[in-house]
Amino acid sequence: MRRGGVVGGLVLVVVALLAVVAPWVTDPAGLDVTRVDGPRLGAPSGEYWLGTDENGRSVLLLTWWGARVSLLVGVAAAVLSVGIGTLVGLVAAMAGGWVSAVLMRLTDFFLVLPSLVLAIALSTVLERGVGTIVLAIGLTSWPGAARLVRAQTLAVAARPYVERAHALGGGTVHVVVRHVLPGVVPLVVVNTTLAVGTAIVAESTLAFLGLGDPTAVSWGAMLRTASSTGAVTAGAWWYLVPPGLAIAGVVLAVTVCGRALETVLDPRLREPR
Amino acid sequence: MSDAPVVVAVERPRRRRLGRYVAGKVGGALLSLGLIAVLGFLLFRALPGDPVTTMTRGRPVSAAQIAELEAAYGLDRPLIEQFWSYLADLARGDLGMSYTFRVPVADKIAERVGPTLLLVGTGTLLAVALGLWLGTRSAWRRGGRFDKAATGVALGLWSVPTFWLGLLLLSWTSGLFPSGGITYPDTPPDFWSQAVDTAHHMVLPVITFVAVVYAQYQLVMRASLVEELSAPHLLTARAKGLREDQVLRRHAVPNALLPTVTLVFLHLGLVVSGAITVETVFSWPGLGLLTFEALRGPDLPLLQGTFLVLAAAVVLANLAADLLYRVLDPRVRAS
């Protein structure tokens, strides 16, 4: 599990670095349909290692640049969703009374609601763009984190040292920030990591349905064009396989990494040898 | 022990407790349905600012056309007035007129429910059977080669976007199976030809759906069975002289099924998103494809209709699960 986590982490670091350096290492002109001269849907060759798309652009270059949007949206949406979840969970655990009851009722409501349908609705009515996608994913995927954080907060808050802090005259805000939050942070970190994977898949799904930023290159948007321009039925596997493998690889790396982090931070989860 | 009084409880308090339980769950579901109705209004009427601009995005329209559309959808009235008439329409089952199909949204949805139920029902049954079987085998021989392989495959499939899997299947099996739709137009109308043709069209969508959905059932079943395997009553069962196979089937699996049932219903949202993507890839004429067609317009009344129907269906299925769970698990009855 640990070794898998390290491998997953390495994969993520490499992909993130590649995504960051893309504008300096590669020529962005290769993404402009008016300035490329490759063959239409050309098979992989010495010049175009992963073939070309229906406009003659290099699939390798598109996949490389696609990592930027996919990772950006994945991380931003995960941070937003776990951020909302942590806030709701903390308040629901510490406030008590009707505030807790209302918040938990709301969390349960959103937990049951089919999140893709809600995300589709949000991104349809709002202006198209990367920000909308982040908002749509973040606003629909927080309830799981909220429930976990609430449970963990309740467990931490019941410990004697928190009672001691109260007895010494610490106010609620002081106790939460200095004594309860540190016990909850590991769970939040793990949750954010796992949420990145879900968010990347959600981004690609929304982009595939045509709700993404029409000007941005992303893995989901590539699969959408591959499907809508008939590349799939024409047997252009080189247009279909790279973006999908990229999504699967990154999501798997994130998941393995998150689970390894979980066992490191929570010794109870380690399997007995 | 908090459940001690239950043993001596007489019949009437128990029945009253059942009544309170059912009332609580039904009340919660009604509240959720109300929230869905409000959310549907906020999302599609209040949030877009101007729904007509959203609907006509990218198309040249004259001011007269816009005014006509606004009047047709009642958008020229105050928001609160719109909300009341929206609720009144909803209570009558009137979901408005579709903008692209020019038919009542409710009719369009009714027409698409059948294919979705067929696809999702078949897919879910297969996925549950496969997931429970694999999960049971993994847990029984945990740490073994089968467990590692099965868990690895499940994690791998879970990381893959549904629609990509569908596209891959389409390109691999090119020509073997139809690429979309539910039947060919030239199939004879008698029952058997139609059924065979539908089954032929269903193969790829169902495989894709199962591949994405089964993993969660497998992982949950594995986890809950592993927990159950160390329970003392299994030692008793073995001491009685039961064979390992009987211990597993009669004593371990039934208990491990309970948490699985809860989680299966809690994750129904995943089933809905699976239906949307699978139906879009294979042009399966169900509610998922209807959602896709609605967002392309964008046909806001239609999208609002599918949103309301899908969300309400999930809430009602959860209510059914809560009530069923009480029948299945005596411990819930006691608490």
- The pLDDT, as a whole number, for residue A123 is 86
B273 touches chain A (CB under 8 A): yes
- B53 within a domain of the structure (yes/no): no
Chain A closest-CA separation from residue B110 CA (Å)? 18
Residue A195, token pair as written in the block: 């949420």
Tell me the residue length of chain A.
273
List B residues 16-75 in contact with A (Cβ-Cβ < 8 A): 28, 31-32, 35-36, 39, 43-44, 47-48, 51, 54
CATH architecture of A2-20+60-269: Orthogonal Bundle (1.10)
Q: What beta strand segments (E) does chain B contain?
A: none
pLDDT band at B130 (very low <50, low <70, confident <90, very high): very high
A18 touches chain B (CB under 8 A): no
Residue B309, token pair as written in the block: 């129907």
| Alpha helices, H only, B73-104 | 79-91
Residue B152, token pair as written in the block: 């690895």
d(CA A100, CA A92) in angstroms, rounded, equals 4
Q: Report whether A11 contacts A273 (CB < 8 A).
A: no
- B68 within a domain of the structure (yes/no): no
- B72 within a domain of the structure (yes/no): no
For B203-229, the pLDDT digits (tens) are 889 999 998 888 888 888 888 888 888
d(CA A251, CA A255) in angstroms, rounded, equals 6
**Chain A, nearest residue to B154 by Cα:** A252
Residues of chain A neighbouring B300 (CB-CB closer than 8 A): 124-125
| Alpha helices, H only, A43-142 | 59-95, 97-112, 115-125, 130-140
For A100-158, the pLDDT digits (tens) are 889 988 898 888 888 888 898 888 888 888 888 999 999 988 998 898 899 888 888 88
B295 touches chain A (CB under 8 A): yes
d(CA B264, CA B216) in angstroms, rounded, equals 8
d(CA B217, CA B80) in angstroms, rounded, equals 44
pLDDT at B332 over 80: no
- B61 within a domain of the structure (yes/no): no
* Percent with pLDDT over 90 in chain A: 15
- The pLDDT, as a whole number, for residue B194 is 80
User: When comparing pLDDT for B74 and A21, which is higher?
Assistant: A21
- The pLDDT, as a whole number, for residue A88 is 93
Find the domain containing B92 and state its range: 4-46+77-334
d(CA B194, CA B182) in angstroms, rounded, equals 10
- pTM reported for the whole predicted model: 0.85
Record: contact A113-B36, CB cut-off 8 A: yes
- B234 within a domain of the structure (yes/no): yes
- Please state the separation of Cα B305 from the chain's center in Å: 16
B100 touches chain A (CB under 8 A): no
Taking the CA atoms of A164, A170, A174 and A178 in sequence, report the sign of the dihedral they define: negative
- Calculate the dihedral angle through the C-alpha atoms of A22, A139, B286, A129, rounding to the nearest 10 degrees: -40
Q: Report whether A71 contacts A21 (CB < 8 A).
A: no
Q: Region B97-115: what's the mean pLDDT? A: 86
Q: Region B308-327: what's the mean pLDDT? A: 86
- The pLDDT, as a whole number, for residue A256 is 87
- The pLDDT, as a whole number, for residue B4 is 42
- B81 within a domain of the structure (yes/no): yes
pLDDT band at A260 (very low <50, low <70, confident <90, very high): confident
**ipTM for the whole complex:** 0.83
For A160-176, the pLDDT digits (tens) are 888 898 888 888 888 88
- The pLDDT, as a whole number, for residue B122 is 92
Chain A closest-CA separation from residue B192 CA (Å)? 29
Q: Report whether A227 contacts A219 (CB < 8 A).
A: no
Question: How many domains are there within chain B?
Answer: 1
- The pLDDT, as a whole number, for residue A250 is 92
Q: Where are chain A's structural domains?
A: 2-20+60-269
Record: contact A209-B31, CB cut-off 8 A: no
- B267 within a domain of the structure (yes/no): yes
- The pLDDT, as a whole number, for residue A45 is 72
For B153-164, the pLDDT digits (tens) are 888 888 888 889
Record: contact B268-A205, CB cut-off 8 A: no
pLDDT at B308 over 60: yes
- B13 within a domain of the structure (yes/no): yes
Eight-state DSSP code of residue B60:
-
* Percent with pLDDT over 70 in chain B: 89
pLDDT at B334 over 60: no
Q: Report whether B275 contacts B310 (CB < 8 A).
A: no
3-state secondary structure B299-332: CHHHHHHHHHHHHHHHHHHHHHHHHHHHHHCHHH
Domain of B316, CATH number, reads 1.10.3720.10
Facing residue for B159 by CB, picked from A120, A124, A255? A255
